[in-house]
């Protein structure tokens, strides 16, 4: 089921056939064929309108987000709100089927926004209201205990994926792949794999605790991360994905 959510007064709701949405539905290149297919696909998912709003601006329109594979807008199926990922016409893949399959697998382990449906060019999923982890940490509102809770929750989700044998593939770019709401949501399963060696905990822990802008901020808030202890715990975990080895990684966070 799609989640019930209020629409902010700043948002602007448009019927999916509104001419203003044409450049978003077939983005970045317009093709009549692609546009018509996508309208039919939206109808098959029950999507009736798209709600403009969000931090990202595409052709003058505010949307929820944009990447190399898709643009993400808030959409409505009747009164239910969802996030709709629309395949870019220049994406390096022909369909969203594989991403949807891997996303569903993540959902079965309690990870990721709940997937509501998909077609060749679209994925409809739970809309996550929140901030990217980078905005969340830089926004500086996190207390030490909240930072620990969110970091531990991200790592727990990564551990579930490791145990399930599903490698997300892009958690070293954590800032683009975690949205913090009431809890953290790992998003975007397009690069995931069930055949690669899983390194979700290792990749995410490095971004949270060791290297880069998120880690620097986390270090400032937590104040006492023992770098050597983290590195040692991750090295040991890397060879053996057991609960005990994972707990040692968590320990290094919760000093």
| CA 211 centroid distance within chain | 20
| Smallest separation (angstroms) from ligand ATP to the CB of 126 | 6
70 in contact with ligand ATP (CB under 6 A): yes
85 binds, among ligand ATP, Mg ion, none (CB under 5 to 8 A by kind): ligand ATP
- Binding mask of the shown chain, residues 154 to 183, with x at each position contacting ligand ATP by CB under 6 A: ----------------------x-------
Tokens of 246: 């994972």
Residue 104 CB-density burial (10 A; 0-12 exposed, 13-18 middle, 19+ buried) = middle
Closer to ligand ATP by CB, 169 or 245: give it: 169
Q: How far is CA 175 from CA 42, 213, 242, in A?
A: 29, 9, 26
- Binding mask of the shown chain, residues 192 to 231, with x at each position contacting ligand ATP by CB under 6 A: ----------------------------------------
Residues 64-103 that bind Mg ion (CB under 5 A): 67, 69
Which of 166, 186, 187, 201 binds ligand ATP (CB under 6 A)? It is: 187
Alpha carbon distance 30, 92 (integer Å): 17
* DSSP codes, 64-103: SEE-SSEEEEEEEETTEEEEEEEE-TT-SSS-SHHHHHHH
| Smallest separation (angstroms) from ligand ATP to the CB of 123 | 8
CB under 8 Å to 54, separation ≥6 — which residues?
Answer: 62, 63, 64, 65, 73, 74
Instruction: Say whether 113 sits in a helix, a strand or coil.
Output: coil
116 in contact with ligand ATP (CB under 6 A): no
Closer to Mg ion by CB, 102 or 249: give it: 102
HSE on the CB side for 231, CA within 13 Å? Answer: 5
Which of 65, 117, 169, 184 binds ligand ATP (CB under 6 A)? It is: 65
Binding segment toward ligand ATP, per CB under 6 A, in 36-44, 62-70, 218-226, 244-252: 62-70
The residues that touch Mg ion, with contacts defined as CB under 5 A, are 67, 69, 188, 190
């Amino acid at each position: 089921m799609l989640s019930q959510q209020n629409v902010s007064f700043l948002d602007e709701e448009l019927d999916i056939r509104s001419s203003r949405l044409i450049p978003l539905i077939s983005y970045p290149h317009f093709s009549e064929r692609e546009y018509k297919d996508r309208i039919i696909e939206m109808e098959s998912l029950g999507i009736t309108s798209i709600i403009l709003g969000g931090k990202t601006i595409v052709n003058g329109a505010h949307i929820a987000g944009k990447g190399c594979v898709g643009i993400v807008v808030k959409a409505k199926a009747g009164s239910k709100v969802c996030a709709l990922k629309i395949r870019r016409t220049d994406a390096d893949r022909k369909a969203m089927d594989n991403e949807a399959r891997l996303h569903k697998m993540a959902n079965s382990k309690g990870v990721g926004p709940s997937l509501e449906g998909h077609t060749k060019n679209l994925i409809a999923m739970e809309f996550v209201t929140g901030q990217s982890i980078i905005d969340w940490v830089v926004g500086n509102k996190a207390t030490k205990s909240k930072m620990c809770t969110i970091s531990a929750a991200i790592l727990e989700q990564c551990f579930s994926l490791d145990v399930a044998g599903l490698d997300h593939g892009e958690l070293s770019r954590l800032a683009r792949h975690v949205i913090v709401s009431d809890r953290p949501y790992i998003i975007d399963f397009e690069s995931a794999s069930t055949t690669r060696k899983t390194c979700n905990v290792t990749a995410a822990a490095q971004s949270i605790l060791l290297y880069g802008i998120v880690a620097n901020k986390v270090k400032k808030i937590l104040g006492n991360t023992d770098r050597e202890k983290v590195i040692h715990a991750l090295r040991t975990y890397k060879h053996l994905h057991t609960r005990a080895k994972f707990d040692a990684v968590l320990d290094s966070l919760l000093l």
